[in-house]
């Protein structure tokens, strides 16, 4: 049964899943998600589920957009939490109907809560670049 939570809480669950999955070597996204739910590491929520699998399903394209938007930064040197936040919000910007302003604001708030002090400004810059390119 799905847990009732706010969209922000669901995004937090998705970020935690994406962060953990990034450390995963061989396991499929489905097996990783099932284990996280079984071990009660995350509550079951449809929005968090859709975000996690949406990002996993579009990972290569999202990473390409992030690398292009992170002008001057080596993609492989991005912190894993920063990358999880960027992937989640890039997915929302490119593949959902979440308004651009809300998606970017949510990413900045996640960066403030879960990442370094410099991450919110970096996340904002990369996501605004991605959003501008989508509009063209």
Specify the pLDDT at position 1: 60
Specify the pLDDT at position 79: 93
pLDDT tens digits for range 57-91 = 999 999 999 999 998 888 888 999 999 999 999 99
CB 95, CB 54: distance < 8 Å = yes
Specify the pLDDT at position 44: 84
Q: Based on the number of CB atoms within 10 Å of its own CB, is 103 exposed (0-12), middle (13-18) or buried (19 or more)? A: buried
- Beta-carbon contacts of residue 82 (< 8 Å; ≥ 6 apart): 111, 115, 116, 119, 122, 123
Rounded to an integer, what is the distance from CA 132 to the centroid of its chain? 19
Specify the pLDDT at position 24: 83
Task: Give the pTM.
Answer: 0.92
Specify the pLDDT at position 81: 96
Go through the domains of the chain in sequence order and give each one's CATH number: 7-135 (1.10.940.10)
Using CA of residue 21, residue 27, residue 33, residue 34, what is the dihedral sign?
Answer: negative
Question: Measuring CA to CA, which residue among 113, 111, 50, 118 is closest to residue 86?
Answer: 111
Q: Which residues of the chain have pLDDT under 50?
A: none
3-state helix, strand, coil in the chain (%, to 5): 75, 0, 25
Please state, in angstroms and rounded to a whole number, the distance separating the CA atoms of residues 22 and 59.
Answer: 11
């Amino acid at each position: 049964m799905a847990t009732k939570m706010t969209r922000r809480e669901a995004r937090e669950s998705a970020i935690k899943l994406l962060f953990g999955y990034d450390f995963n070597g061989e396991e499929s996204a489905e097996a990783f998600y099932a284990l996280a739910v079984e071990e009660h590491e995350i509550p079951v929520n449809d929005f968090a589920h859709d975000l996690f699998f949406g990002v996993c399903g579009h990972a290569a394209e999202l990473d390409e957009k992030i690398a292009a938007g992170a002008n001057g930064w080596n993609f492989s040197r991005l912190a894993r939490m920063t990358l999880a936040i960027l992937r989640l919000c890039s997915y929302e910007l490119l593949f959902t109907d979440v308004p651009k302003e809300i998606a970017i604001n949510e990413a900045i708030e996640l960066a403030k809560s879960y990442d370094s002090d410099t991450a919110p400004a970096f996340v904002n810059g990369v996501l605004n670049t991605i959003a501008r390119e989508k509009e063209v």
